[in-house]
Amino acid sequence: MTQALLPEGFRDRLPPFADAAARLEAAVLGAAASHGYERVDPALAEFEEGLAGRLKAARTQDAVRFVDPVSQKTLAVRPDITAQIGRIAATRMGHHPRPVRLSYAGPVLKLRASELSPERERRQIGCELIGLDTVAAAREIVGLAVEALGAAGVRGLSIDFTLPDLVETLAAGPLPVAPEQVATLTERLDAKDAGAVAAIAPAFLPLIEAAGPFDAAHRRLAGFEAQGVLASRLSGLRDVVDGLAGQVGLTLDPTERHGFEYQSWLGFSIFAAGARSEIGRGGSYTIVHEDGQEEAAIGFSLYADAIVAAGLAPVERRRLFVPIGSDPAAAARLRAEGWVTVAALEAGDTPEAQLCTHLLADGEVRAL
Amino acid sequence: MTQALLPEGFRDRLPPFADAAARLEAAVLGAAASHGYERVDPALAEFEEGLAGRLKAARTQDAVRFVDPVSQKTLAVRPDITAQIGRIAATRMGHHPRPVRLSYAGPVLKLRASELSPERERRQIGCELIGLDTVAAAREIVGLAVEALGAAGVRGLSIDFTLPDLVETLAAGPLPVAPEQVATLTERLDAKDAGAVAAIAPAFLPLIEAAGPFDAAHRRLAGFEAQGVLASRLSGLRDVVDGLAGQVGLTLDPTERHGFEYQSWLGFSIFAAGARSEIGRGGSYTIVHEDGQEEAAIGFSLYADAIVAAGLAPVERRRLFVPIGSDPAAAARLRAEGWVTVAALEAGDTPEAQLCTHLLADGEVRAL
């Protein structure tokens, strides 16, 4: 009869993984709330044109679209929440004093999967700081990501920093490159393709070497850059990681651009021990207001599924079976003490069938 | 430039309402977890045919649909989560011992709004008990809804019960009605249209009077039903509400059917003081398995937006401004004590701009 399987790239999260994801989310958003980040919950779908124009260089190409029978316009189910936060910051919260600190969590949908991320539905959790992309702002955001993941029990963190607009900045100044070649150069540098880089702009070759453990890579990048164009970026980077060394692993890959299409001076990917792919990313970006004014912002997003799949959120299952005829007040008292009670509803029900670890017998809790 | 407004029926939830909704959800799902209801998080979109066939009499007519470029099949963004829980219970959790207790929370989407509910996106929070629809199961589900809403701070609850398959049951037995007239009769009874009911089947007229405060309505319904066909429903209803009187308002409208299209013997709507429309609903229903086997289930869903809009979730905002140069360890200690700290990131930042109620000065918290 009906189709039981889900479409490729979609899945149901079952117990105990859905519980683990919910706990992870609560811990992350709780840490964010304690730093003044207030929850927003943007609409799941909106006008495609409203979503597309808000972040400089953001795109909606892979969004699920449908025609709205009410407005006859094309609506898109959000493929990303950050662009929605940008829209809200620029419109309904446009007159709110800056910086604005916002947090969010919800599903995002893509029409097509990519090779790197086969999921078409992901749960995105994040924080955005709007109105600033200074070093102080970057320190707060990176530090909050680390603190929030720590609060959620995620261990073995490492952060890989990048400088998304580095190549454009150099190509427009000290190391001129023909405008039509900048995109190819950026892409070849990202791919660490020394041959192609040498053919386009050999002066950029040392950037390929300036990747790896943070301190060494930072030193090589500083050595490469004699003219001082990167001085503020280099000292900014240094200040952002200050205090993180020892707590988390730190690397630098200054020309990594893939996945940082709309970021400006700073980008970062977050990894955790046991997770096969990145568990989050963030960086600075630019919001475009109604009047064309641009505003700096910085934030991070985490992917709950990648974290839970790596088994990083600890799970405990302690269930107390309450036989028929037990005193309801006793069960209520035990719930108030933190027990999960599972009431028998039929004579034949058993603790085993209800996956219970404990039994209420003669008013006492017995381990099974 | 870009469109700032959202499509009709969609909205962004901003601070402090998004925070209030998140707290409400956490309280409801926390209460459910303490009764053994484990979280599931079904896919946001799935094969339309998989969604449509799972609950007996459920429909996907108002779902947002799109063609999947991978499978070339039609996918639907869920218009309701209960049908998805039914699918999961019948497939991946098909061999799990019964009853299965599951909880969930997430957005649902409709292509078109109805007059009664102008929203096209809602946040649905719910619990489903799968494998039973007995009186004991109904008592657990109704009691849990009341307890969970109480834990979330919702006051002034009332529950309106209905018997969704009442008219079909009577028409198939003691009060015969031509099969082709049953749907019209059901609809006219729901509309309390005495003239139309008299023209189709005058024997059903007393049902229109059997609506109102629970005890009186129950008495009238018992008096109407002399043949005993409803005896188990009537004593079941009595047992379900046993213990709730005094705690919540109770009414009975035995022929109300609108919104209970897929429910079987029991349905209920939940109201709260201050909320203009219902804040939730539930009832018993039938899940269809792969092999055509049917399984009884019962559950409830709550609508977070309706509850928060009524101002039922209490909100408190206490924010502590931390000036530049403050000791970070002091701020961390205060967060650990439950404070929300908001760090100044620029020299010109002020507690007022950051909507702070308190200021950290000389290591001490001062109210502003």
Which helix (H) or strand (E) segment is A343 a member of? strand A340-343
To the nearest 10 degrees (0 to 180), the angle between helices B135-151 and B231-241 is 30
Q: Is the pLDDT of residue B341 over 60?
A: yes
Has A72 been labeled as part of a binding site?
no
CATH C-level class of A1-154+275-316: alpha beta
HSE-up (13 A, CA, CB side) for residue A21: 30
Give the closest-approach CA distance of A6 to chain B in angstroms. 6
- Whether residue B50 has pLDDT greater than 70: yes
Contact between chains at A15 and B46 (C-beta distance less than 8 A): no
Distance between CA atoms of residues A66 and B7, nearest Å: 12
The pLDDT of residue A314 is 58
Q: Provide the 8-state DSSP code for B11.
A: -
Q: What strands lie across the sheet with B157-162, from one edge to the other? A: B38-39, B100-109, B121-130, B294-303, B280-288, B263-272, B157-162, B249-252, B212-213
Q: Is A242 on the interface with B (CB under 8 A)?
A: no
Cα–Cα distance measured from residue B271 to residue B159, given in angstroms and rounded to the nearest whole number = 6
CA distances from B288 to B90, B94, B137, B267, B296 (A): 7, 11, 19, 19, 9
In B, minimum Cα distance to A356 occurs at B36
Separation of alpha carbons B171 and B176, rounded Å: 5
Average pLDDT over residues A144-163: 95
Rounded to whole angstroms, the Cα distance separating A278 from A259 reads 11
With residue B284 as reference, give the H or E element that holds it: strand B280-288
DSSP code of residue B212: E
Q: What pLDDT score was predicted for residue B312?
A: 67
Whole-number Å distance between alpha carbons of B336 and B353: 24
- Please check the confidence at residue B1 and state whether its pLDDT lies above 60: no
Residue (of B106, B28, B78, B126) closest to A21 by Cα position: B106
CA distance B151 to B149: 5
Rg of chain A in Å (alpha carbons) = 25
Strands B100-109, B38-39: pairing is: parallel
With a cut of 80, say whether residue A312 has pLDDT above it: no
Cα separation, A303 vs B116, whole angstroms: 36
Q: Residue A230: is its pLDDT beyond 90?
A: no
- Structure token pair of residue B305: 């937006």
DSSP states of A224-283 as a string?
Answer: H--SSTTHHHHHHHHHHHTTTBTTBEEEE-TT--TT-TTEEEEEEEEEETT-SS-SEEEE
Which residues in chain A are contacts of B11 at CB distance < 8 A? 43
The residue type at A176: P
CB burial class (10 A; 0-12, 13-18, 19+) of residue B355? middle
pLDDT digits (tens, 9 = 90+) for B174-200: 889 999 999 999 999 999 999 999 999
Lowest mean pLDDT: which of A156-165, B59-68, B203-212? B59-68
CA distance A60 to A45: 12
Residue B7 to residue A47, Cβ atoms within 8 A: yes
Q: Does B115 touch chain A (CB under 8 A)?
A: no
User: Taking CB atoms and an 8 Å cutoff, what residues of chain A touch B123?
Assistant: 41
CATH 3.30.930.10 fits B1-152+286-294, yes or no: yes
Give contacts of B 277-316 with A, CB under 8 A.
288, 290, 292
Looking at residue A69, what is its pLDDT?
93
Got the DSSP string for A83-140?
HHHHHHHHTTTTTSPSSEEEEEEEEEE-SS--SS---SEEEEEEEEEES--SHHHHHH
Look at B3 and A66 and tell me if their CB atoms are within 8 Å.
no
Q: What is the pLDDT of residues B283-294, one digit of tens each?
A: 999 999 988 899
User: Could you state, in order of their start, the residue ranges of all structural domains in chain B?
Assistant: 1-152+286-294, 319-367
A80 is in an annotated binding site: yes
Q: Which of A11, A136, A290 sits opposite B4 (nearest CB)?
A: A290
Q: What is the mean pLDDT of residues B349-365?
A: 94
In this model, does residue A3 exceed pLDDT 90? no
DSSP state of A55: B
The C-alpha atoms of residue B56 and residue B75 are separated, in whole angstroms, by 20
- Is residue A127 within 8 A of residue A101, CB to CB? The reply is yes
- The whole-angstrom separation of Cα A67 and Cα A55 is 23
Tokens of A360: 């209420």
Give the DSSP H or E segment for B182: helix B179-190
Residue pair A51/A60 in contact by the 8 Å Cβ criterion: yes
Contact B127, B144 (CB under 8 A): yes
Q: Is B27 on the interface with A (CB under 8 A)?
A: no
Q: Pairing state of beta strands A294-303 and A319-322? A: unpaired
pLDDT interval class at A133 (50, 70, 90): very high
User: Is the link from the previous residue into A174 a cis peptide, with omega within 30 of 0?
Assistant: no
Q: Quote the distance between the C-alpha of residue A223 and its chain's center.
A: 32
DSSP B45-70: EEEHHHHHSSBTT---TT-EEEE-TT
- Nearest chain A residue to B138, by CA: A345
Least confident of A164-178, B58-72, B198-212, B332-346: B58-72
- Rounded CA Rg of chain B: 25
Residue, of B6 and B58, whose pLDDT is higher: B6
pLDDT higher for B230 or A163? A163
